[in-house]
Amino acid sequence: MTAIQAWPFVIAAYGIAIGGTLVLVVASMVAMRRAEARADKLDEHR
Amino acid sequence: MHRFANPVRFLRIARPLTAWLGWSGALLILAGLGGGLFMTPADYLQGETVRILYIHVPAAWLGMAGWMGIAGSSFAALVWRHPLAAVAARACAVPGATYAAICLLTGSIWGRPTWGTWWEWDGRLTSMLVLFFLYLAYIALAEAAGREAGGQRIAAIFGLVGAVNLPVIHYSVLWWRTLHQGQSIGLTGSSIDPALLWPLPLSALGFTLLFAAVVLMRMRTILAETKVEARLKRMASV
């Protein structure tokens, strides 16, 4: 296995791991902010 | 543990902890992956593909740790009826499923140049795929069960029963000596050369801290949604 053949596999694996992690973190953060903003808004209307 | 049963007290700690875990995890991941990609030598046998180790091993660990979180929280929910335990179990499911999928995909990408195949029905690979399907089933079950006590109990029992697969994954390389290599990292040492090993604890700890931050974010989401739901129900009944 030469370095030229190996790097596309390494890049693909890192792309999936980093991309998957970013999607997970951003989606969780957006959902949390939305849910907490909704709850805070209801508190204000009390 | 019951000190944190009060969501207000839990949130007072969870809010600053989420940011702290997230940022320290991200920094450790950067250090670990930077070291793994640019500072370690290529392996004499695997060449550059050995660098996949620094993401594949943490993903495998978190895929299993996510279900340990589900099983532990389910146990606490069933035995002690801890109010936040069911929330914690649900919060572990999607991050755990994500890392189980990342583990399977990165392992497959590593397998093609190393073993000459994308997939093999080997004991370790198959039991990890079973774990991924268990996650999908748990997520569907927890969603369908909603926040009713009876439904949550069924999800908790499923979480405990599914934990049977964890020792199968761990010991699969000993029970069925097929394609996947045996255990190379143990509690007492490692068979990996130190020149290649040092970025792995950094990336593993970094991904673990980030995983904990995501679980806290998802717990906060569920608690806020529950609060809104309860408030709207109360308003509708007045």
pLDDT digits (tens, 9 = 90+) for A3-24: 458 999 999 999 999 999 999 9
pLDDT value for B2 = 64
Residue B34 lies in a domain: no
ipTM: 0.91
Q: Which of A4, A5, A24, A29 is most worth mutating to test chain B (most B CB atoms within 10 A of its CB)?
A: A24
Residue B7 lies in a domain: no
Q: Look up the domain containing B156 and give its range.
A: 50-180+197-237
In this complex, is the C-beta atom of A45 within 8 Å of any C-beta atom belonging to chain B?
no
Q: How do residues B76-125 score in pLDDT, each as one tens digit?
A: 999 998 889 999 999 999 999 999 999 999 999 999 998 899 999 999 99
pLDDT tens, position by position, B27-43: 999 999 999 999 999 88
Structurally, how many domains does chain B consist of? 1
Look at residue B157 in the predicted model and tell me its pLDDT. Answer: 96
Does B134 fall in a domain? Answer: yes
Question: How many CB atoms sit inside 10 A of residue B152's CB?
Answer: 21
Query: Nearest CA of chain A to the CA of B159: how many Å?
Result: 22
Residue B20 located in a structural domain: no
Does residue B8 belong to any structural domain of this protein?
no
Question: Residue B55 pLDDT > 60, yes or no?
Answer: yes
Question: Using alpha carbons only, what angle is made at residue B163 by residues B167 and A27, rounded to the nearest 5 degrees?
Answer: 115
- Tell me, yes or no, whether B228 lies in a domain: yes
Q: Of all residues in chain B, what percent carry a pLDDT higher than 70?
A: 97
Q: Residues near B223 by Cβ (< 8 Å), separated by ≥ 6? A: B7, B10, B11, B87
* Over residues B161-176, mean pLDDT: 91
Could you tell me if residue B57 is inside a domain?
yes
Task: Judge whether B129 lies within some domain.
Answer: yes
The letter for the amino acid at B149 is A
